[in-house]
Amino acid sequence: MSIRTNYENRYADEAYYWGTEPGAFLDELIRLCPPAPGKTVLDIGCGEGKDAVYMAEQGYAVTAFDLAENGIRKTLRLAREKNVTVHAYTDDINTFAVSGQFDIVYSTGTVQYLFEENKKAFFEKLSRMTKTDGIVYLNVFVEKPFLGLPPDWDMEEKMWRTGELFTYFADWKIERMDEVIFEDTSGGRPHFHCMDTVICRKVDIPAQT
Ligand SMILES: C[S@@+](CC[C@H](N)C(=O)[O-])C[C@H]1O[C@@H](n2cnc3c(N)ncnc32)[C@H](O)[C@@H]1O
């Protein structure tokens, strides 16, 4: 196994680094795009699988990937324990390829691993892989001169600028976009993050006559 993310070590323990409680944002996504037979979800940077497994429990067909092999191992373990199926594998947000389209595409805590030179291609891919009427949820850490770097910040992570995330969704129907500052204790020391979040719906643009 080649170590390509510090999360490989953080996820090596049998205990779940992020716990197994799903993210609160998922209920908003479920309300905007309720589960039904054939509804599909993509989790980009699924970590140890708490969100992917929860979405599978709700009845979606879930695909999930993460760079950390230990994260995928634990995602598959959690899915087995909850008696659901998640199609989970290792891949890189910078270069991944998936076939088909999804009703919900989300990524939490991972978009900052996207290299500058891959941003344009990523958002084009995101648009192609989202079904019409489908929902995208993304969040990203943004730089604030009055907040220091978090203690568990990786070399590969890059802070975004306030509002930058929103510029990629000008043609989408915005369901919610906001910026919040919140306290976090991951890495063992309390610290603050500033995060931009967008939830948007892909709407077909009528052909001009
Ligand atoms: C803050 S954690 C979030 C994990 C998960 N989404 C959650 O909420 O529990 C960031 C995740 O990004 C993953 N990651 C780091 N670099 C990545 C890359 N280049 N491609 C895909 N995932 C990556 C890490 O392994 C880690 O699981």
CA-wise closest residue to 195 among 185, 203, 184: 184
Q: Please give the pLDDT value at position 3.
A: 55
State the amino acid at position 12 in one-letter form: A
Tokens 């006559």 map to which residue?
209
**In sequence order, what are the residues at sequence separation of 6 or more whose Cβ sits closer than 8 angstroms to the Cβ of residue 29?**
104, 106, 135, 137, 199
User: Comparing 189 with 8, which gets the higher pLDDT?
Assistant: 8
205 CA distance to ligand 1 middle (Å): 33
Instruction: Kindly state the helix (H) or strand (E) to which residue 32 belongs, with its residue range.
Output: helix 25-32
> 193 — phi, psi (to 5°)?
-120, 150
Domain spans of the chain, in order of start: 7-12+25-201
Q: Please give the pLDDT value at position 176.
A: 97
Instruction: Kindly state the helix (H) or strand (E) to which residue 26 belongs, with its residue range.
Output: helix 25-32
Residue nearest to atom 26 of ligand 1 (CA): 47
Q: Is residue 48 classed as helix, strand or coil in its secondary structure?
A: coil
66 CA distance to ligand 1 middle (Å): 6
CB distance 199 to 136 below 8 Å: yes
Q: Of 48, 96, 113, which is best to mutate to test ligand 1, by the most ligand atoms within 8 angstroms of its C-beta?
A: 113
CA-wise closest residue to 204 among 132, 135, 136, 110: 132
106 CA distance to ligand 1 middle (Å): 12
206 CA distance to ligand 1 middle (Å): 36
pLDDT band at 206 (very low <50, low <70, confident <90, very high): confident
| CATH architecture assigned to 7-12+25-201 | 3-Layer(aba) Sandwich (3.40)
Sign of CA dihedral 11, 86, 60, 110: positive
In the beta sheet, which residues pair with residue 196?
140, 179
Q: What is the pLDDT of residues 91-103, one digit of tens each?
A: 999 999 999 999 9
Taking each continuous run of H as one helix and of E as one strand, the counts in the chain are 5, 7
State the amino acid at position 136 in one-letter form: V
Tell me which residues have their CB closer than 6 angstroms to ligand 1.
5, 7, 18, 23, 45-47, 50-51, 66-68, 71, 92-94, 108-110, 113
Q: What is the pLDDT of residues 49-76, one digit of tens each?
A: 999 999 999 999 999 999 999 999 999 9
